[in-house]
Amino acid sequence: MSEQLPAWSDKFETGIKVIDRDHKTLFEEIGNLTDALVRDQSAAEIEQAIICLETYVMEHFKREETFMIQAGYPGTEEHLRTHRAMQRRVRCLRDIYRKGDERIDPVKLGRFLNRWLSGHIMKTDMDYVPYLRGEKDDRIPDQTARLNDVSVRVPENKRDIVERFVGILISDDPLAKELSSLVEAFEERLDEKEMTDARKLFCQE
Ligand SMILES: [Fe+2]
């Protein structure tokens, strides 16, 4: 690959050994995958590299999330949202590859993954470091239950309808079943949209 992508360096160090080791490995996994694509290795080897990356991303996110929750890091909820979005992107990558109807561009993929990881470490991960070190006072103790709460800010004129829909969705009302099927159908459309976005990010034009 002619383009020089960011690799692991000291500037990415959080000083937390387990996290730094994970981040180093993630840079390596991204490198392994893009190399496998550039060298046009067998489908089994490329799929293996995708699965390795996907698994490591999940394991690493889980580790970070446990640390953040234990440390009472107040930005946990937002950080978790960023992780989920990335997990969905990697899942789309695996699905695109398995479908096999489009060719993944190693340069585009490497650029996206590498930039995401570098930016995420420097901006998002660095923010929790002082909390993990116990250097901050504004900790949120016992936030596990809170993470299951859903809170959304809605415009005044949408508030009633959102409350009514959520109320029905979590009730025993016969309409709840109907609403659930509509939501499921909509989820499929959301998945399709994510796949379209991922194709634009990862595949050859
Ligand atoms: Fe993170």
Which pair of structure tokens corresponds to residue 159?
């508030």
CA–centroid distance, residue 61 to ligand 1 (Å): 6
Q: pTM score, two decimals?
A: 0.87
Query: Torsion over CA of 41, 44, 6 and 121, rounded to 10 degrees?
Result: 180
Give the largest CA-CA distance in the chain: 60
Collapsed DSSP state (helix, strand, coil) of residue 203: strand
Instruction: Answer yes or no: is 2 within a domain.
Output: no
* Ligand 1 mean position, distance from CA 18 (Å): 13
For the beta carbon of residue 143, count every other beta carbon within 10 angstroms.
Answer: 18
Confirm whether 160 is domain-assigned. Answer: no
Instruction: Report the amino acid identity of residue 52.
Output: C
Q: Residue 144: its pLDDT value, please?
A: 80
Overall average pLDDT of the 80-89 stretch: 96
Name the band, by pLDDT with cuts 50, 70 and 90, for residue 32.
very high
More confident residue, 36 or 150: 36
Q: Is residue 119 part of a domain?
A: yes
Helix (H/G/I), strand (E/B), else coil: 141: coil
Asked whether residue 21 is assigned to any structural domain, the reply reads: yes
201 within a domain of the structure (yes/no):
no
Counted domains in the chain: 1
Residue 173 domain flag: no
pLDDT tens, position by position, 34-66? 999 999 999 999 999 999 999 999 999 999 999
> Ligand 1 centroid to 196 CA: how many Å?
25
Domain that holds residue 93: 10-150
Is the pLDDT at 67 greater than 70? The verdict is yes
pLDDT at residue 190 greater than cutoff 60? yes
Give me the CATH number covering residue 76: 1.20.120.50
CA 134–ligand 1 middle distance (angstroms): 18
Residue 15 lies in a domain: yes
- Confidence category of residue 2, pLDDT binned at 50, 70, 90: low
Cα gap 124→191, rounded to integer Å: 25
- The rounded Å distance from CA 65 to ligand 1 centre is 8
Residue 77 resides in a domain: yes
Question: What's residue 184's pLDDT?
Answer: 93
